[in-house]
């Protein structure tokens, strides 16, 4: 997703006649397309920081974010720079790194993203923003219509964007749990998937319809050799974060607890099969609990080809 956002950002900078995007990636080969668009491949995070006023971060989890922020802080003078984090992390992580950045007279903006890598390619992601409001205004020309379809500004406290993203991911996981159970009922009742999928799209909207297709069209279990849209490990992280946030607030997310159990069992199945699975792979466990195979008919036919 970070690569897709960076490519769209570089296209925008080129169209506006601005300086090219400076970038760094752990895996250098992943930046080849970005270089082809005119982006400048830097040898280190420090090189990006020293040549930029606004620094975007897109990484996998809390530990990776903390490591990258520490490298940014060690790069030298970051006075008045704006650091924008698009990663989904625990609110306490956003709060912690924001404090570190502010001690260096820079600004930290939490900007987690709703959407998938294909949506990022098409500029259809939604970005949630929190932090210094004047800095968020400075970012506006680089967000809506450039890398995202829309933005939501939540608060001047960076951790609130992280919390909203965690809540949103809980809702998506809850939808996936319920829709997966409904599809299993449809299959066990010999009704089939098509009518249910039509109902989800026509009556309940775009998101339930998209989730349904992730299940019926086999995205929950990608073909061997292909990476999932959203790795199962990220689903485990996000649902775990949502349960922890609820506990801290003095409440429970019982649907999340059910989803987390199914995700953990799906992770065990993934390790057993030696095959990466999507964060929607709870569907396979729901199927197994109902006496069905982990793979639905679509996956079986696809993998047999």
- Distance CA(75)–CA(72), nearest Å, equals 5
| Domain membership of residue 237 as a residue range | 165-304
In terms of domains, do 173 and 145 share one?
no
Question: Can you read off the two tokens belonging to residue 92?
Answer: 């306490």
CATH of residue 270? 1.10.1040.10
Contact 282, 263 (CB under 8 A): yes
Q: Do residue 236 and residue 184 come from a single domain? A: yes
Domain boundary among 138, 156, 174: 156
Which pLDDT belongs to residue 73?
95
Whether residue 262 is found in the same domain as residue 179: yes
Final residue in a domain of this structure, among 156, 176, 195: 156
Residues 171 and 270 in one domain: yes
Q: Are residues 30 and 138 in the same domain?
A: yes
Tokens standing for residue 193? 């998937």
Same domain, 282 and 218: yes
Is 300 among the residues known to form the active site?
Answer: no
Written as tens digits, the pLDDT of the chain (305 aa) is 899 999 999 999 999 999 999 999 988 788 899 999 999 999 999 999 999 999 999 998 999 999 999 999 999 889 999 999 999 999 999 999 999 999 999 999 999 999 888 899 999 999 999 999 999 999 999 999 999 999 999 999 999 999 999 999 999 999 999 999 999 999 999 998 999 999 999 999 889 999 999 999 999 999 998 989 889 999 999 999 999 999 999 999 999 999 999 999 999 999 999 999 999 999 999 999 999 999 999 999 999 98
* Dist. CA 114–CA 188, nearest whole Å: 33
> Is residue 297 domain-shared with residue 173, that is, in the same domain?
yes
Give me the number of domains the chain comprises: 2
Q: What's residue 118's pLDDT?
A: 85
From the candidates 165, 188, 217, 300, give the one annotated as an active-site residue: 165
Question: If we measure between CA atoms, which residue out of 101, 118, 148 comes closest to residue 214?
Answer: 118
113 and 169, same domain (yes or no) = no
CB 151 within 8 A of CB 84: no
Give the domain CATH number at 68. 3.40.50.720
Q: What is the pLDDT of residue 305?
A: 84
Give the predicted TM-score (pTM) of the model.
0.89
- Asked whether residue 7 falls in the same domain as residue 127, the answer is yes
Does residue 71 share a domain with residue 190? no
Domain boundary among 135, 156, 177: 156
Count of Cβ atoms closer than 10 Å to residue 235 Cβ: 27
Same domain, 105 and 146: yes
Among the listed residues 25, 108, 9, the one whose alpha carbon sits nearest the alpha carbon of residue 60: 25
269 and 239 in a common domain:
yes
């Amino acid at each position: 997703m970070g690569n897709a956002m960076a490519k769209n950002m570089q296209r925008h900078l080129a169209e506006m006649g601005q300086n090219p995007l400076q970038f760094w990636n752990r895996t250098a080969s992943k930046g080849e397309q970005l270089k082809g668009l005119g982006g400048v491949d830097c040898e280190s995070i420090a090189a990006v920081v020293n040549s930029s006023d606004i620094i975007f971060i897109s990484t996998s989890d809390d530990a990776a974010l903390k490591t990258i922020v520490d490298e940014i802080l060690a790069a030298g003078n970051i006075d008045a720079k704006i650091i924008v984090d698009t990663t989904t992390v625990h609110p306490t992580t956003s709060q912690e790194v924001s404090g570190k950045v502010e001690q260096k007279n820079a600004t930290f903006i939490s900007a987690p993203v709703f959407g998938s890598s294909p949506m990022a390619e098409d500029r259809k992601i939604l970005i949630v923003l929190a932090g210094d409001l004047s800095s968020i205004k400075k970012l506006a020309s680089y967000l809506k219509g450039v890398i995202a379809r829309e933005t939501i500004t939540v608060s001047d406290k960076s951790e609130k964007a992280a919390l909203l993203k965690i809540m949103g991911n809980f809702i998506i996981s809850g939808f996936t749990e319920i829709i997966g159970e409904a599809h299993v009922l449809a299959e066990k009742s010999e009704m089939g998937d098509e009518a249910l999928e039509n109902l989800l799209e026509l009556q309940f909207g775009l998101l339930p319809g998209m989730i349904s297709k992730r299940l019926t069209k086999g995205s929950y279990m990608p073909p061997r050799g292909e990476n999932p849209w959203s790795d199962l490990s990220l689903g485990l992280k996000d649902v775990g974060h949502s349960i922890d946030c609820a506990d801290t607030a003095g409440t429970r997310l019982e649907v999340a607890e059910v989803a987390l159990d199914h995700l953990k069992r799906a992770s065990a199945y993934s390790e057993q099969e030696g095959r990466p699975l999507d964060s929607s792979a709870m569907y396979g466990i729901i199927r197994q609990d109902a006496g069905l195979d982990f793979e639905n008919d679509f996956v079986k036919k696809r993998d047999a080809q």
